[in-house]
Structure 1
Amino acid sequence: MRTLKLFLLLLLSSLIGCSKDDDSTTPTQEEAMYFPSNTNSNWETTSSTSLGWNQSQIQSLKDYLFQKNTKSFMILVNGRIVMEEYFDGHTQDATWQWNSAGKTLVSETTGIAQQEGLLDVNNKVSQYIGNGWTNAPQAKEDLIKVSHVLTMSSGLTDTQLVIPSNLTYLEDAGNRWSYSNVFQKLMDVVAASSNQDFESYFNTKLKNKIGMEGFWNNGVIFKIYHSNTRSMARFGLLSLNKGKWMNEQIINENYFNASISTSQNINPSYGYLWWLNGKSSYMVPSDQTVFPGFLVANAPADMYAAMGAEDQRIYVIPSRKMVIIRMGNASDPANPNFALSGFDNALWEKINAVIN
């Protein structure tokens, strides 16, 4: 009997020990990835104190954001809000333009259309929207695949106003990287292949699935997406999770991984309309110069980003399970830029002082 009791005590002790070991590897509630509801405005938060951030540097970051004409700023960790700040009368419900940060919405919608079998990014653009969509000789137009438009390597003129007469031939597709608005032809490709307008397809397949609020507005030279800050953060959170929202893989993970990987051998810091950090060199809009080093030296090497004119930003940092949103007017009104600017490096210096 004593032997049996001893055996049972040892067995119980072993089970308790195993339970403790298992608990140590189980993520806490704050460590587990969180997704806000699609049906209400509740969004879980976590404190910067609990994350061990430098409290003495937070006000300096806020002051800098205000000085640089920011309208809104958010940081998510594991999907939870750590910082949510509004400036200059902007509010949680107010909408703002994404500018070229919205290119990433087009990229991922194109990926969804491919996974549904409506298109193939390796097919030529004219297969979907017909011949004569450029001013290039037909043989040169036929070289341009959907993937070339996704990667800014169509070889066409660096035009902002995308009309056939402006889309002239410079080099064969794939031989030149240049930042322009030719990307908007992807909207036409998706519309033609899905037999509906782009916005309807986008709303059904992406926006509504993650609870975004927003709309495409006809800008001066191309359609621009507008939304509130939390909707931008929702897309950032979807992107942090490689196209997965809650239990649904909305964007094929292989496609998403391709979209945040070097997409051509000319500008390694560019994917499928996403900007990539941590590469050996980079190029900037309206310039054929190749610069050595990281895109944003002060930012984590694994960061990928949606970048739009006047410093509209979605920074995604997988190593920190972090998403950062910045909306507002240009940080430097005298130099509104097309995408990348010196603001990124300066802002990351302030962010690092808080989170490191």
Structure 2
Amino acid sequence: MKPTYFYILILGLLFGFSCSSEDDSTSNEPEPEAVYFPPINSDNWETTSISELNWNENELQPLLDFLEEKNSKSFIILHNGKIVQEHYFNGHQNSTLWYWASAGKTLTTAVAGIAQEHGLIDINNKVSDYLGTGWTSASMEKENLITCEHLLSMTSGLDDTLGDDVSASNLQYVADAGNRWAYHNVYVKLQDIVAEASNTTWNNYFNTNLRDKIGMTGNWIDIGSLSVYASTTRSMARFGLLSYANGKWEDLQILNENYLAQATNTSQDINLAYGYLWWLNGKSTYHLPQSQVEFLGQLIPNAPSDMYAALGKNDQKIYVVPSKKLVIVRMGQSADDDNFALSNFDNELWLKINALIN
């Protein structure tokens, strides 16, 4: 019997060694490529090529021709943080500042999240906790229903037909907060909330806690009662990259990952294609500004279903596509004389992008 035990022992050792070797080979597989971040204090930015990514180079020129024809000023594609394509059109240069329009709403989303992480605000609290009562013309009972989250999700219940003026007299009650989705510039009250809670100005808090930490340039420009952000195209791409990297810049977690996940997923049950001031693709229905109509289908059918986007007037755009490791920025004038942030241009553009990347 002893030889039998000996053979069993030898077989066991051989089998164990074999398993161990397989485990070792598995552990030696290359790790996924880390996200690249450009330096904070430099405009140097690593690149990768279309050929390295095995994209269809023959489709690049048709994409660029389309962008130029459609009044674009600039266009950048990042793959895992590195620049694949960067182009400027119609007299625009890489150092030229251009406005983000409503695409800049997502900057307010980010800063509100940072302020919450700092313990300065809680988005579940009433707006009146920070601004006092009387910031709308609604009754105190109805005003006190409105939380900071309602501003982020466009569900304040305030009248969206009275223009950009967000003074109290123009913020009139239409429905209880949370019961009606309406695209409304009342979101800018979040900037007042952050300024009040941080005991500084919105600009100072934004610059210190977001802009400067990721190497952005640019400034807020007052237009009437609203502030609009203007920057270089690369600065817009830096913010898109921060969002793609789940709120992290190199080893620094600037924006809470769970908060960003909330911001880039459906925020309420009325407009499924809207998060916290981010537009979401891949949902079964969507609503558009100045309308209470529910439309069937995806927001941008040609775009990947996991894409989320910052969209601004005259087709200012940041597209973030985690599944494709992409951040895409387009700045310019209106592509088709359609002033709203979302138009058929998005779908046409994605048809061209798909031809390039697939």
> What TM-score do you get using the length of structure 2 for normalisation?
0.92
Does residue 128 (structure 1) correspond to residue 133 (structure 2)? The answer is no
Output the amino acid matched with 1:218. D
Q: Which residues in structure 2 correspond to 1:232-247 (within 5 Å)?
A: 232-247=236-251
- Residue 63 to residue 26, structure 1, CA distance change in 2 (3 Å): same
Output the amino acid matched with 1:185. K
4+ aligned runs moved over 2 Å, structure 1: 13-27
1:172 corresponds to: 176
**Matched length:** 341
2:116 corresponds to: 114
Output the amino acid matched with 2:127. V
> How far apart are the structure 1 equivalents of 2:234 and 2:282?
27
Query: How far off its partner does 1:40 sit?
Result: 1.2
Q: Kindly provide the CA deviation profile for residues 149-179 of structure 1, in whole angstroms up to 9, marking residues without a partner as x.
A: 0100000010422111110000000000000
2:261 corresponds to: 257
2:93 corresponds to: 91
> How far apart are the structure 2 equivalents of 1:312 and 1:263?
23
Query: How far off its partner does 1:26 sit?
Result: 2.6
Does residue 40 (structure 1) correspond to residue 42 (structure 2)? The answer is yes
Query: How far off its partner does 1:332 sit?
Result: 1.3
Aligned partner (choices 24, 27, 45) of residue 29 of structure 2: 24
Output the amino acid matched with 1:111. G
Question: RMSD of the alignment, in Å?
Answer: 1.7
| Range moving further from structure 2, 74-83 or 17-26 | 17-26
Does residue 355 (structure 1) correspond to residue 353 (structure 2)? The answer is no
Query: How far off its partner does 1:113 sit?
Result: 0.5
1:71 corresponds to: 73
> How far apart are the structure 1 equivalents of 2:152 and 2:57?
41
Query: Whose Rg is larger?
Result: 2
2:5 corresponds to: none
- Secondary structure of 1:306's partner? strand
- Secondary structure of 1:319's partner? helix
Aligned partner (choices 127, 137, 140) of residue 139 of structure 2: 137
- Secondary structure of 1:91's partner? coil
> How far apart are the structure 2 equivalents of 1:125 and 1:93?
38
2:198 corresponds to: 194
> How far apart are the structure 2 equivalents of 1:82 and 1:19?
35
- Secondary structure of 2:216's partner? coil
| Range moving further from structure 2, 155-164 or 83-92 | 155-164
> What TM-score do you get using the length of structure 1 for normalisation?
0.93
> How far apart are the structure 2 equivalents of 1:105 and 1:58?
30
Output the amino acid matched with 2:205. Y
> How far apart are the structure 2 equivalents of 1:279 and 1:179?
18
2:8 corresponds to: none
- Residue 192 to residue 50, structure 1, CA distance change in 2 (3 Å): same
> How far apart are the structure 2 equivalents of 1:321 and 1:43?
17
- Secondary structure of 2:213's partner? helix
Q: Kindly provide the CA deviation profile for residues 17-47 of structure 1, in whole angstroms up to 9, marking residues without a partner as x.
A: 87765443334xxx32100000111100000
Does residue 336 (structure 1) correspond to residue 339 (structure 2)? The answer is yes
Does residue 227 (structure 1) correspond to residue 234 (structure 2)? The answer is no
Output the amino acid matched with 2:30. T
Q: Which runs of 5+ in 2 are unaligned?
A: 1-17
Output the amino acid matched with 1:190. V
2:151 corresponds to: 149
